Amino acid sequence: MTTPLEEGRAIELVVLDMAGTTVLDDGVVETAFQRAAERTGVADRMPWDDALAHVRDTMGQSKIDVFTHLAGGDRAAAERATATFEGAYAEIVAEQGVSEIPGAADAIQGLKDAGLAVVLTTGFAPVTRDALIDGLGWRGLIDLALSPVDAGRGRPAPDLVLTALIRTQTTSVASVAVVGDTVSDVESGRRAGAGFVAGVLTGAHGIEMLRGAGADAVLADVTGLAPALAERGLLPRAHAVVPTF
């Protein structure tokens, strides 16, 4: 496959995951899932440890898809549980506030200053996604934010990445960089044909899982993205280089 690394084509668009990549999670997603399961009984058909393991394995994917599995294919039950999850997540954010991954806003601004478009993607519904963005004051920082409902399918399908490309009028998939903390983030980027796909170690999955999913690089956090792109000659402006793992 031809990539921008081979062609020398600069990246034009960066697609960034939210929770665990740019937004500090600190166990909020798992806690919200637990509250939703307790309130709806959606995971009662299996031991809780198995349900939690599935939630962890599928971090980054569309929440309705995760709950559909937990509900044994009962879509109506999954929809109720998803709505309850979104409500529980909002409760926790109201209780604890929302914080960025340290340095994330500056990293995004640096990408913007280098002439790149930046799109945030998530498995959350728009109401939760927008609450996080507003809580962080990022509305004017990013070009766009997308949820599965905006694109068709959630991760690991390529839809979110491809929708970001279309909406920002990016030249080609080879000019897209995708970054996330989960296997599904990496797989989504690979399936979309993105020119550069990176994992970060600030969220759900570790270095071996991210590498195994096909990440071109695994970074300590999102602040390492611009240096990693610059090191490969994929940015129009030079940035300091930090090591990747």
Domain locations in the chain as residue ranges: 4-24+99-231, 28-96
How many angstroms separate the CA atoms of 130 and 72, rounded?
30
What pLDDT is recorded for position 156?
92
CB 28 within 8 Å of CB 89 = yes
Q: What is the mean pLDDT of residues 197-217?
A: 94
The encoded tokens of residue 9 equal: 């084509």
How many angstroms separate the CA atoms of 118 and 38, rounded?
37
Is the confidence at residue 52, as pLDDT, over 70?
Answer: yes
Name the pLDDT band for 4 (thresholds 50, 70, 90).
Answer: very low
Q: What is the mean pLDDT of residues 224-243?
A: 74
Q: What is the mean pLDDT of residues 24-36?
A: 84
Is the confidence at residue 242, as pLDDT, over 70?
Answer: no
Name the pLDDT band for 240 (thresholds 50, 70, 90).
Answer: very low
Q: Secondary structure of the chain in the HEC alphabet? A: CCCHHHHCCCCCEEEEECECCCECCCCHHHHHHHHHHHHHCCCCCCCHHHHHHHHHHCCCCCHHHHHHHHCCCCHHHHHHHHHHHHHHHHHHHHHHCCCECCCHHHHHHHHHHCCCEEEEECCCCHHHHHHHHHHHCCCCCCCEEECHHHHCCCCCCCHHHHHHHHHHCCCCHHHEEEEECCHHHHHHHHHHCCCEEEEECCCCCCHHHHHHCCCCEEECCHHHHHHHHHHCCCCCCCCCCCCCC
Q: What is the pLDDT of residues 223-232, one digit of tens each?
A: 999 999 999 9
49 Cβ contact list (under 8 Å, min separation 6) = none
Residue 66 or 109, more confident: 109
CB 67 within 8 Å of CB 80 = no
Minimal CA–CA distance to 214: which of 242, 243, 241, 192?
192
In percent, how much of the chain has pLDDT > 70? 93
Q: What is the pLDDT of residues 89-104, one digit of tens each?
A: 888 888 888 899 999 9
Mean of the per-residue pLDDT values of the chain = 87
The encoded tokens of residue 131 equal: 């609450």
Sign of CA dihedral 13, 135, 96, 65: negative
Q: Angle 147-94-99 (CA atoms, 0-180°, nearest 5)?
A: 65
How many angstroms separate the CA atoms of 95 and 87, rounded?
12
Rg (CA), the chain: 17
Q: What is the mean pLDDT of residues 159-166?
A: 97
Q: What topology does CATH give the domain 4-24+99-231?
A: Rossmann fold (3.40.50)
Q: What is the pLDDT of residues 70-84, one digit of tens each?
A: 888 888 988 898 889
CA distances from 38 to 32, 123, 240 (A): 10, 21, 47
